[in-house]
Structure 1
Amino acid sequence: MTAFWCESAWLTGGLAKRVRLVVGNGLLREIQVDTDPDERDVILEGVTLPGMANAHSHAFHRALRGRVNGGGGNFWNWREQMYQIAAQLNPDTYLALARAVFAEMVLAGFTLVGEFHYVHHRPGGKKFGDPNAMSLAVRQAADEAGIRLTLLDTCYLEGGLNGGGHVELHPGQLRFSDGSVDAWAERMLARRPENDRVRLGAAIHSIRAVRREDLPKVVEAAAGMPLHVHLSEQPGENLACQMFYGCTPTELLDEAGALGHHVTGIHATHLTDRDIELLGGTGTGACFCPTTERDLADGIGPARALHDAGTPLSLGTDQHVVIDPYEELRGLEMHERLITNERDRFTSSELLHAASFNGYRALGWSDGGHLSKGALADFVTVRSDTVNTAGSTPEQIIYSCVASDVSTVVVGGDVVVRDGQHRLGDVGRLLGSSIERVISAAVGG
Structure 2
Amino acid sequence: MNVYDTLKERGYIQKTSNDDGIKKLLENPPVTIYEGFDPTAKSLHIGQLSNIIVLKYLQDAGHKIIFLVGGGTGLIGDPTDKAQTRPMLSLDELNTNAEALKKQAEKLLLRFDGENPAIILNNADWIANANVKDYLRNITSKISANFLLTLETFKKRLVANQHLSLMEFLYPSLQAWDYLHLFEKYNCKLQVGGSDQWANILTGVNLVQSVHQEEVFALTWPLVTDSAGVKIGKTSEGEKVWLDPEMSSAFDCYQFLQSIDDASVEDLLKRLTFLPLTEIAEIIKDKRKAQRRLAYEVTKLVHGEEKAKGAENKSESVFGNEGSPDVSIHIKDLGLSEDGLIEDLLIKSQIVTSKSELKRLIDQKGISINGITLTNQDKKLAEFFDGKEFIKIQKGKRKAVLLKKE
> Which structure has the greater CA radius of gyration?
2
Which one scores higher on RCO, CA 8 angstroms, separation ≥ 6?
Answer: 1
The two structures have a TM-score, normalised by structure 1, of 0.28
Greater percentage in strand: 1
The two structures have a TM-score, normalised by structure 2, of 0.30
Greater percentage in helix: 2
